[in-house]
């Protein structure tokens, strides 16, 4: 099988921490303690092959132009549009990055994946599904009409209305407690401390009237489960968390590794919840171009208007790309091209027979 790893020993957690700086000091001890429990995925890719393909993709697309930064959040328009970074993390704790993969940017809507995961951890998948749903809207991510027209009104956890409702579901006594719980959960998924980008938060909070309107409309339909204004504020904060592509790749690899962070060995997400999360990502992770993404790339993914996209390859790992210019749907143009290229070269398309080791000639796009 093209992607199957040889029997050589995987890098130790300590080696990866030393090489890539992925885990902060407090979590290093935790990672070391957890190391004996880590099990190698039988389908983990060969890191040498992954590195080669990632380097090819970087060289192929680094000079591509097109798209523009999000400007409805003023601070995002000021991010240098030539920034470009790629990071990969595998389920057996290998990591590789190239370009501006250490540049911190706002997580934006990629946060929706992990707040969904937290809500499911707290309440169970069935409750979250009943309260939020998981149907594609076929509308822009901030659509008012989708809230009115869809039977669930919330649509799914990957659009703004559904994401705000998801935040409102997370149990907490106060908004500050909820925010702390969310930030701590993101940190567990990333394997290191994450922080709020206050300039992004202030810029978004001053321009989030559309999200406030969505929350008020959800209240009309009894589909928001805490104070609407407070829920929007916590949602705005979660979108303003700073991450880099390396951290995002680890967060994605945690999903690929059945909920266990491959760098720390800590279980972050219950194994039974992972398929539901990946399903939601496939359904609506790239908004109203999710169908085209599924058709052409075939991987669960989530974009953010800050310029990032994270894609998960179950059992194998994740790839995160940062490049700020977006297409009309709000997805990074360059990131889409990179992930599509890597997925095709490594037979990652989940709908292609080659992804499970059958002859590559059977797969799509060959």
CA distances from 96 to 50, 206, 354 (A): 8, 37, 24
| pLDDT, mean of residues 264-286 | 97
CA distances from 191 to 286, 350, 361 (A): 25, 27, 38
Question: CB atoms < 10 A from the CB of 109, how many?
Answer: 25
**Spatial distance between the Cα atoms of 194 and 307, rounded to a whole number of angstroms:** 18
Is the pLDDT confidence value at 262 over 90?
A: yes
Question: What rounded mean pLDDT belongs to the chain?
Answer: 88
| pLDDT, mean of residues 342-349 | 94
| pLDDT, mean of residues 218-246 | 97
| pLDDT, mean of residues 2-12 | 37
At 13, the pLDDT band (50, 70, 90 cuts) reads: very low
Report the pLDDT value the prediction gives residue 218, as an integer from 0 to 100: 95
At 354, the pLDDT band (50, 70, 90 cuts) reads: confident
Is the pLDDT confidence value at 260 over 90?
A: yes
Report the pLDDT value the prediction gives residue 40, as an integer from 0 to 100: 60
CATH homologous superfamily, domain 7-362:
DD-peptidase/beta-lactamase superfamily (3.40.710.10)
Q: For residue range 83-122, what is the model confidence (pLDDT) as tens digits?
A: 999 999 999 999 999 999 999 999 999 999 999 999 999 9
Is the pLDDT confidence value at 11 over 80?
A: no
Residue spans of the domains in the chain: they are 7-362
Report the pLDDT value the prediction gives residue 112, as an integer from 0 to 100: 97
Is the pLDDT confidence value at 29 over 90?
A: no
pTM: 0.86
Report the pLDDT value the prediction gives residue 293, as an integer from 0 to 100: 96
Report the pLDDT value the prediction gives residue 323, as an integer from 0 to 100: 98
Is the pLDDT confidence value at 254 over 90?
A: yes
Report the pLDDT value the prediction gives residue 146, as an integer from 0 to 100: 81
Helix ranges (H only) for 62-197 are 111-123, 125-132, 144-149, 160-169, 175-190
Report the pLDDT value the prediction gives residue 79, as an integer from 0 to 100: 97
Report the pLDDT value the prediction gives residue 314, as an integer from 0 to 100: 96
At 361, the pLDDT band (50, 70, 90 cuts) reads: low
| pLDDT, mean of residues 316-334 | 96
- Closest alpha carbon to 79 in 308, 319, 279: 308
Report the pLDDT value the prediction gives residue 360, as an integer from 0 to 100: 59
Report the pLDDT value the prediction gives residue 275, as an integer from 0 to 100: 98
SS3 54: helix
What's the burial of 175, exposed, middle or buried (CB within 10 Å: 0-12/13-18/19+)? middle
Is the pLDDT confidence value at 21 over 80?
A: no
Q: Going along 228-316, which residue ranges are E strands?
A: 241-243, 301-303, 308-313
Q: Which of 24-28, 224-228, 232-236 has the lowest mean pLDDT?
A: 24-28
Q: Which carries the bigger pLDDT value, residue 68 or residue 136?
A: 68
**Spatial distance between the Cα atoms of 115 and 341, rounded to a whole number of angstroms:** 29
């Amino acid at each position: 099988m093209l992607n199957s790893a040889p029997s050589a020993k995987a890098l130790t957690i300590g080696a990866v921490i030393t090489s890539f700086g992925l885990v902060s000091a407090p979590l290093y001890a935790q990672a070391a303690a957890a190391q004996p429990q880590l099990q190698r995925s039988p389908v983990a890719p060969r890191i040498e092959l992954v590195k080669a393909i990632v380097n090819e993709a970087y060289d192929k697309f680094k000079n591509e132009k097109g798209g523009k930064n999000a400007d409805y959040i003023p601070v995002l328009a000021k991010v240098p549009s030539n920034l470009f970074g790629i990071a990969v993390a595998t389920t057996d704790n290998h990591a590789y990055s190239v370009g501006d993969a250490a540049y911190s940017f706002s997580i934006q809507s990629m946060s929706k994946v992990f707040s969904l995961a937290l809500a499911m951890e707290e309440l169970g998948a069935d409750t979250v599904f009943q309260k939020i749903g998981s149907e594609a809207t076929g509308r822009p991510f901030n659509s008012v009409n989708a809230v009115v027209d869809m039977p669930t009104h919330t649509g799914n956890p990957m659009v703004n209305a559904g994401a705000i409702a998801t935040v409102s579901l997370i149990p907490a006594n106060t908004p500050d407690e909820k925010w702390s719980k969310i930030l701590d959960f993101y940190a567990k998924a990333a394997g290191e401390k994450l922080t709020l980008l206050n300039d992004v938060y202030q810029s978004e909070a001053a321009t989030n009237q559309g999200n406030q309107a969505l929350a008020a409309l959800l209240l009309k339909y009894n589909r928001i489960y805490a104070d609407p204004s407070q829920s929007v504020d916590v949602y705005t904060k979660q979108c303003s968390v700073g991450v880099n592509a390396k951290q995002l790749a680890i967060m994605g690899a945690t999903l690929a590794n059945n909920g266990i962070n491959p760098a720390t060995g800590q279980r972050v997400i219950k194994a039974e919840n992972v398929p539901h999360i990946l399903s939601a990502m496939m359904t609506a992770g790239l908004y109203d171009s999710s169908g085209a993404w599924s058709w052409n790339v075939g991987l669960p993914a989530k974009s953010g208007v800050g310029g990032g996209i994270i894609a998960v390859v179950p059992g194998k790992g994740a790839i995160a790309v940062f490049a700020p210019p977006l297409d009309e749907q709000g997805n990074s143009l360059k990131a889409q091209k990179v992930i599509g290229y890597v997925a095709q070269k490594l037979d990652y398309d989940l709908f292609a027979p080659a992804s499970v080791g059958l002859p590559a000639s059977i797969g799509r796009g060959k």
